[in-house]
Amino acid sequence: MLASERRGIISAGTWTLDRVKLVDSWPQEEHLAHILATDRQGGGSGHNLAVDITRLDSSLPVQTIGLVGMDADGDFLKSRAAESGINVSQLHQIDCERTSYTDVISDSRTGKRTFFHYRGTSDLLSPDHFDFELCSGRLLHLGLLGLHKTMDAKWKQFQNGWVAVLAAARAQGIRTNLELVSIDSEKIRDIALPCIPYLDSVIINEYELGALSGKSVCRKNGQIDTELSIEAAKSLVSHSSMSFLVVHCPQAAIAVTASGDVFVKKSFDVNPSWIISTVGAGDAFAAGMLYGQHENWSIDASLELAHATAAASLRAANTVGSVESVKACLAFAQRASIEAR
């Protein structure tokens, strides 16, 4: 298939089940806490971005590639994805391992969350599960590096499985984007730097930018420094084939293009009373940014949608519960920003 004939987004990589429990307090060891409410939701970058894109624009084809167990959790994730209109033909199921899951324990008094993660099928995901000849999408979003044992390791002639997958996508004329997770900075560099030559873009936070570039991007108080971030982003883009790099934090986002253009866009202000949870906001930001780029919007307009989608996502306790259409997200963000003044 010619690159010009491609349309849609492929959201691939991490698929996990979030088992959410709200407790009355966080207990000491060997003490008891009462569970006030429970929920289960899909999680992981593969799931979150796929669902967010379908909510932004239900007419845009979305396909996913991932691995879950042949169990109740895997069935739940696959059925929910299909109900959202996602093509799940490459959301594979196996019976030799259980679906990856995360126990998310939320303290009702403090709002703080604690995570217990079981990697399960994530460790068995490999480049063999990706067949891009069966994909008609224009853009691949891939993650999460550092959380998949097989993908993180050397694969045939490639430095790791992520590189193998990105190279295969590029060979089919598919544009590529990578999502990281904020693990140890040295591990980020070891796994992600070999991927850079195979990327068209990357959307990361300030910690991940610092890890990838090897440069300090924050002031002593921990706040992101705009000039340092621009310098770090430019150094990464200049040594790659990427068309752009975006670094985001709660206050703003910075985009640097291959031609050297720099865009700095402040986040929308949102009244704290509207915020239920920040979980999934990073995926929502990426969904807005990639949607804009898929539709050939300007970088500036794409950043605006990315911020709006992230702002809209703050209204739900789960990762994807309050993302709406492109028009609705932009309208909400504008309205919320006015009310927050």
| Structure confidence at residue 8 (pLDDT) | 98
Is residue 142 pLDDT above 90, yes or no? yes
Interval 121-125 mean pLDDT? 98
Contacts of 302 (CB under 8 A, 6+ apart): 288, 289, 291, 292, 293
| pTM, two decimal places | 0.93
Residue 245 identity: L
Is residue 161 pLDDT above 90, yes or no? yes
Q: Is 187 exposed, middle or buried (0-12, 13-18, 19+ CB in 10 A)?
A: middle
| Structure confidence at residue 56 (pLDDT) | 98
Helices (H) and strands (E) in the chain, counts: 10, 13
* Per-residue pLDDT reduced to its tens digit, 260-304: 999 999 998 888 888 887 778 899 999 999 999 999 999 999 999
Interval 140-159 mean pLDDT? 97
Is residue 55 pLDDT above 90, yes or no? yes
| Structure confidence at residue 249 (pLDDT) | 87
Of 16 and 281, more confident: 16
What is the band of 106 on the pLDDT scale with cuts at 50, 70, 90? Answer: confident
Q: Strand, helix or coil at 189?
A: helix
Q: Is 135 exposed, middle or buried (0-12, 13-18, 19+ CB in 10 A)?
A: buried
Residue 320 identity: V
* Per-residue pLDDT reduced to its tens digit, 241-261: 999 999 998 889 999 999 999
- Between 2-6, 70-74, 226-230, the lowest mean confidence (pLDDT) is in 2-6
Torsion sign (Cα): 307, 313, 315, 317: negative
Interval 89-96 mean pLDDT? 98
